[in-house]
Each structure stands twice: as structure tokens, then as C-alpha cells.
Structure 1
Amino acid sequence: MSDAEGGPFDFTLPGTEGDEINKYRLSDYTDGGAVVLVFYPFDFSPVCTEELCGIRDAEWLSFTENVDVFGISRDSCYAHKRFIKQYDLSFPLLSDTEGEVIRKFDLVYDEWEHHRGVPKRALVTLDESHEVRYRWQTEDAYNSPDMDELEQTVLSLVDEPVR
């Protein structure tokens, strides 16, 4: 994982949109706009499934240009493929199997439901300069984020003039 070009939060992780496994570098997506990172504990867990399907169904995200969404967990790309297909998710899921990115963003549970190093449930929005513009996280992985706050942040980034 290298972050030299894109600043302190840049990363490259394997991921999938459901068919092929590819590498995704954060700075490739922030160069032209904002990125929403959705950190979550596990594919197929009830709260994670509800949250990711809620993001899939957020019409304002579908119609917002220059904003990419990525889900990040420690699950493998093979689990992600099945999860994407089962729930028709419209954005890539990235595999942080070593936990490097969740540590970089300080979003790791020491232990959650007898699993060590699980990502906290969190939303992070970065602009094109990798500045964190919105951050929501919870210590209780059963809590869900306020999608209205995320929507307002994303829409404010889209409405800002290009720097």
C-alpha cells in the first residue's frame, strides 16, 4: 500500500464490482471529485447489509456526478463478489484484509463479537485534495449513520466551485 502521490490517506486495495477483482487506488477517484468510504464490519451481517443497501438505494448518490462510493471491510473479494450479486450493490467493495487502511483512518475495533481487528462502522468523505470533509463513526456496530448528514455533505462538495 503506497500513499506517496495522494497524500496521507491514499491507498491501493484489491476490490470488485461483482465480476473481476481489480486494484483500486483512492487518488485515481479523488482526482476528479469526492469519495465516500463506507467502513463496515462484515459482508452479510444484518446491519451491514441494511446499511449498504441503503446507500445503494440513495437516489441522490446515483444522480451526483464526480462522487464515488467504496465499501471497505476485511472480507475477501470472493465474499464481496457474492455479497454484491446477492444485493445488487452498485459500487465496489474493497478488501482490507491486512487492516492497513482501517488503521490509517483509526477505525478498528480491538475486538467485536469475538473478532479481532474488525473495521468500525463509519463513513468518511474525502474531497479531491484528500481533506476529510465528513466523518461519522460509532463504537456500537449496531448503530447506523444519519444518511441526511452524508447527503448534505456530498451535495455541498458537488456545489462547490472547482479549485
Structure 2
Amino acid sequence: MSQSDGLAVGEKAPDFEATFVTPDGDTAQMRFSRLLAERPILLNFYTMDFSPDCVSEWCSFRDFEWFTSNDDVGVVGISKSGPTMHRRFIDSLNLKYPLYADTDLKISEAFEVDYRAMGLFRRARRSCFLIDTDRTVRYKWLGDHWLDPTRDTPPVDEIHQAIVRELGGEAEPAF
């Protein structure tokens, strides 16, 4: 599978429905457009729960307090891990973010971030999309390292600055 650049900024994000695991333990089918009715969403694709690179990624979002203290944008994760693993991942890392289960990678495919690692294992490319309430992609970040995703960590400060720039407000320094 060739490398894709994912959905472009300005493109309409697809709507989808998938199993959604919340930090308080609820699991249900959730339509993405329902989340967007409340506020813009920073949708974060990652390979799978408990891989070292993903633990690092989610800890950086958790530890950057702006993402948990700001109600202007929601942070939502999505990976091929199933609901039971998501529940353990949320509990283990004390995450405040809900996670979608994309077990068949159809959502990753719709966002054009699915690929085969070493031509064998299908997974989602590490990526972040800021999507406004009209489902328009306002910002994206794509990991550069196809074979070694541990070398990519989403730039939390850059993402924060993009959210402030795209959605308004005053930027605070990340650290």
C-alpha cells in the first residue's frame, strides 16, 4: 500500500459510527457527527493500546493540562484496539479522553491513514485531525516514520497553537 497524506485541510471529514469507550466506563455505539454537534474534535489516530509509542503519546496529551481544562475542543482517540483493551488503557493511564474502536480499520481507511507495516500488518498511521462542527478538517498532523512509529510523537504544543489559531482565543505556552 502506498503512503497516503490523509485527508487534506479544508476537506470534509467522513461521518462514522463505531464503538466508543468513555473514561467513566460506558461503552456504546457513537456517531462522530453527534460529538461534533457539541464542539470541534481533535481526532487522534494511533496504532494500538499499550504500544510504547502510544503510551507516550497519550501521556503527553494527559499531562498537557490545556487539553483537559479547555471545553472548546474535545480530544478523542481512535485505534484498532477493541473496547475491552480501550477500557484497560484508559484505566491504566488515567486518561480523561474517550476512545473509538476501529477494529476493522474502516475509519482509518476513510481518513486515508491506513497502511500495511512491512507490507503485512494493517494499521493506522499516527495522525491528528482537528475537525470543526461542520466536519471540515482545520488542521492535521501525520507521523513521518512508517516502519518505526516510536520515532513519532504528535507535537502537543504545535497542536495546541493550531487549535488556538483555528478556533480563536489566546495561546498559552505549553510548558
TM-score with structure 2 setting the length: 0.81
**Residues 14-163 of structure 1 aligned to structure 2 (within 5 Å):** 14-18=19-23, 19-111=25-117, 116-140=121-145, 141-142=149-150, 143-159=152-168
Q: Cα offset for 1:115? A: 5.6
After superposition, give the CA deviation of every residue in 1:102-161 in whole Å (9 maximum; x if it has no partner): 00111112125x86221111111101111111111124112112111110121234427x
Where structure 2 has 5 or more consecutive residues not aligned to the other structure, the ranges are 1-11, 170-175
The structure whose RCO (Cα within 8 Å, separation 6+) is larger is: 2
- Contact 1:32/1:66 (8 A) holds in 2: no
* Counterpart-to-counterpart distance in 2, 1:119 and 1:151: 22
After superposition, give the CA deviation of every residue in 1:28-67 in whole Å (9 maximum; x if it has no partner): 1212321001100010111100101111122111222231
- Contact 2:13/2:136 (8 A) holds in 1: no
Range with bigger deviation, 24-33 or 74-83: 24-33
Where structure 1 has 5 or more consecutive residues not aligned to the other structure, the ranges are 1-6
AA matched with 2:21: T
Who is 1:4 aligned against?
A: none
* Counterpart-to-counterpart distance in 2, 1:80 and 1:88: 12
Aligned residues: 153
Q: Percent identity?
A: 29
AA matched with 1:153: A
